[in-house]
Amino acid sequence: MDNKLIFVINPGSTSTKVAVFENETCLFKENIIHSTEELSQFNNLIEQYPYRKKILLNKLNEKGFSLHQFSGIASRGGGLKPLPSGVYAINELMISDLKTCKYLTHASNLGGLIAKDLSQEFSLPSFIADPVTVDELAPLARYSGLKGVERASIWHALNQKFIARKAANHLGKKYEESNLIVIHMGGGISVGAHQLGQVVDVNNALNGDGPFSAERSGSLPTGQLAKLCFSGEFNKEEMKKKLAGKGGMVSHLGTNNAKEVEDKAEMGDEDCLFITHAMIYQIAKTIGEMSAVLCGKVDAVVFTGGMAYSKMIIKQIEDYISFIAPILVYPGEDEMEALAINVFRVLIGQIEAKKYV
């Protein structure tokens, strides 16, 4: 088998991650930070596309690579229509939905646009894997208490699925034979019930429900939220930012740096201590909800994401939920590796890429 060189792209709101993998081995990985000043020159997200593409190509050249050497391109999936888990070839319909932000405005939309452009320029196949809108919800999980308002599946699908497979392997089982509760704790927090290879319930980690996080408000008392919306103090865009961007710790403490808040809490800052405990309490409650979804048949509770590095946070959540199942911790996120390995499996014919329709 010839070695496969894979170019991996993962745009975020203020950074772009880039990596090169040879088969399943990372040759280099870097996170390119974009300053507020750099991004402020653009009127909207899509206008950033040529700027980010140029930066990625410059970084690739700096590292001594040419795209003529590559076998394929892997990009983080953006805001697409609800769709099953898997690897998808980037096509024109996908590009149209990403460019118009038809389903979701998110920096990851830029990844598909850049990947498709480069694939055409260098005659390479390009793919996304497990975008944030992967939807495997059970029918009952879609219902809310208001007709016409359906619960949405927006979560850290790429990292959760990848880590869930690692956890199942650790347990000596196939992912498709396991019941797991996976918690991704980062700028947003998603808690998913993985039942025999399907995420049958998960909170909307962007702007819907579940625990509050570093910058997202999570579930809110609806009566008070409605009152705030019609108070005349805020317009629609300002209210949306309160849900995602200026909610959670930002709203309470003025920062989205969870490590900074934890450090202050450990030094005795009562506000930081109480808000951290409140977030932990809400995460634990949501884990309890997902254990009920799985009827108590849980093989493991699995933690991942940046906040999983915190022994204090893990220990305090464990105090609430250790009775449910064994606990496994995989700190950080492995999205670049997940993208590369998913696309590698397609390139060697182990799995087939799906069509976005």
Least confident of 34-38, 237-241, 261-265, 324-328: 34-38
Nearest in space to 80 (alpha carbons), one of 14, 129, 43: 129
Q: CB neighbours of 285 closer than 8 A, spacing ≥ 6?
A: 211
Q: Using CA atoms, how far apart are residues 317 and 335, in angstroms rounded to an integer?
A: 24
Confidence at residue 334, expressed as pLDDT on a 0 to 100 scale: 86
Q: Using CA atoms, how far apart are residues 299 and 328, in angstroms rounded to an integer?
A: 10
Residue ranges, CATH 3.30.420.40, the chain: 5-135+335-355, 157-331
Nearest in space to 4 (alpha carbons), one of 340, 354, 336, 334: 340
Q: Which residue has the tokens 């209210």?
A: 239
Kindly state the average pLDDT of the residues 161-188: 97
Kindly state the average pLDDT of the residues 105-131: 95
Q: Using CA atoms, how far apart are residues 4 and 137, in angstroms rounded to an integer?
A: 34
Q: Is 134 in contact with 84 (CB distance < 8 Å)?
A: yes
Q: Which residue has the tokens 């390995």?
A: 341
Confidence at residue 97, expressed as pLDDT on a 0 to 100 scale: 97
How wide is the angle at C-alpha 219 spanned by C-alphas 214 and 224, nearest 5°? Answer: 110
pLDDT over 90 for what percent of the chain? 88
CB 295: neighbour CB atoms within 10 A?
9
Q: Is 28 in contact with 6 (CB distance < 8 Å)?
A: no
Nearest in space to 79 (alpha carbons), one of 54, 55, 96, 60: 96
The answer to whether residue 213 scores a pLDDT higher than 70 is: yes
Instruction: Compute φ and ψ for 303, nearest 5 degrees.
Output: -110, 140
The secondary element (H helix, E strand) that includes residue 355 is strand 354-355
The greatest distance separating any two alpha carbons of the chain, rounded to the nearest whole angstrom, comes to: 64
- The partner residues of 188 in beta bridges, in order of sequence, read none
Confidence at residue 37, expressed as pLDDT on a 0 to 100 scale: 83
Kindly state the average pLDDT of the residues 150-164: 95
- Output the pTM of the full model: 0.92
Q: Where are the alpha helices (DSSP H) in the chain?
A: 36-39, 49-62, 92-99, 109-122, 157-170, 222-229, 236-243, 248-253, 258-266, 270-293, 311-321, 335-347
Kindly state the average pLDDT of the residues 225-245: 95
Instruction: Compute φ and ψ for 47, nearest 5 degrees.
Output: -65, -15
Q: Which residues of 219-231 are buried (b: 16+ CB within 10 A; e: fewer)?
A: bbeeeeeeeeeee
Nearest in space to 152 (alpha carbons), one of 138, 133, 139: 133
pLDDT over 70 for what percent of the chain? 100
Task: Return the C-alpha torsion angle 153, 159, 161, 162, nearest 10.
Answer: 170
Q: Domain 157-331: which topology?
A: Nucleotidyltransferase; domain 5 (3.30.420)
Looking at every residue in the chain, the average pLDDT score rounds to 95
Confidence at residue 105, expressed as pLDDT on a 0 to 100 scale: 86
Kindly state the average pLDDT of the residues 154-163: 95
Q: Domain 5-135+335-355: which topology?
A: Nucleotidyltransferase; domain 5 (3.30.420)
More confident residue, 186 or 13: 186
1 pLDDT band (50/70/90 cuts)?
A: low
The answer to whether residue 13 scores a pLDDT higher than 90 is: no
